[in-house]
Amino acid sequence: MVSILVLATAAGCSSSATGHSAASRTPNSPAQLLPSRTAASPIGTVIAARHGTGPATVALTLPSSDSRLTLRLACDGDSVADLINASGTAELHVSECPSLGVLYDSAFKPTAADRTIRVALAPTTQWSLIVWAG
């Protein structure tokens, strides 16, 4: 019924925004066209790849304190989705999960609290998570 996309993509860049509402809009950056669904991965190596249905906790082994962490989530179901670290910070929030075929990335410098990532979503929501470090 649901296929979980495990895609590796290259991301472009866009300028910062200054607005506070949906009406405030940044200039569009040139969208990066992907030659295929197997385009380049985020920088680093995959340290976790999980999928499932409903809430879960994923343990991560962070290679060094200087590593950059990239969380990639795909999900399908009737709920919002959050990737929350041990200190309760949502490292990524997706407003609604019926987004089959859409990949959401969040890249950041991790802290010790990011050694576990809690996948918070509805019990029936299917998800896939890939984590890169590097």
Partner 1 sequence: MRRLASRFIVLSLLASSAVAASAAVSAPALAGCAPDAAYSVTNAVYNHKDMVSYSSAPGGHTLSITITAGLSVTATFSGALQTEESIIIASAKETWGLSFALTLSASIAYSDSWTVPSTWAHGQLHAGADRKSFHWSYGHFAPTCSWVVVRSGTSIAPYHVPAFWSVKA
The bridge status of strand 126-133 relative to strand 69-76 is antiparallel
CB distance 73 to 97 below 8 Å: no
The verdict on 41 binding partner 1 (CB under 8 A) reads no
Q: Select the span of 51-59, 99-107, 114-122, 125-133 touching partner 1 (CB under 8 A).
A: 99-107
In the complex, minimum distance from the CB of residue 56 to partner 1, in angstroms, rounded to a whole number: 19
Q: Select the span of 47-55, 56-64, 101-109, 116-124 touching partner 1 (CB under 8 A).
A: 101-109
Longest dimension (CA), the chain: 41
CB distance 114 to 73 below 8 Å: no
Neighbours of 1 (CB within 10 A): 4
Residue 48 identity (one-letter amino acid): A
The verdict on 116 binding partner 1 (CB under 8 A) reads no
> How many Å apart are CA 55 and CA 66, to the nearest integer?
29
Q: Which is nearer to partner 1, 31 or 59 (CB)?
A: 31
The verdict on 9 binding partner 1 (CB under 8 A) reads yes
Q: Which is nearer to partner 1, 49 or 90 (CB)?
A: 90
Among 6, 11, 56, 60, binds partner 1 (CB under 8 A): 11
The verdict on 93 binding partner 1 (CB under 8 A) reads yes
Q: How far is CA 29 from CA 13, 48, 79, in A?
A: 7, 31, 29
> Contact residues for partner 1 (CB under 8 A)?
5, 7, 9-26, 28-29, 31-34, 37, 89-99, 101-109
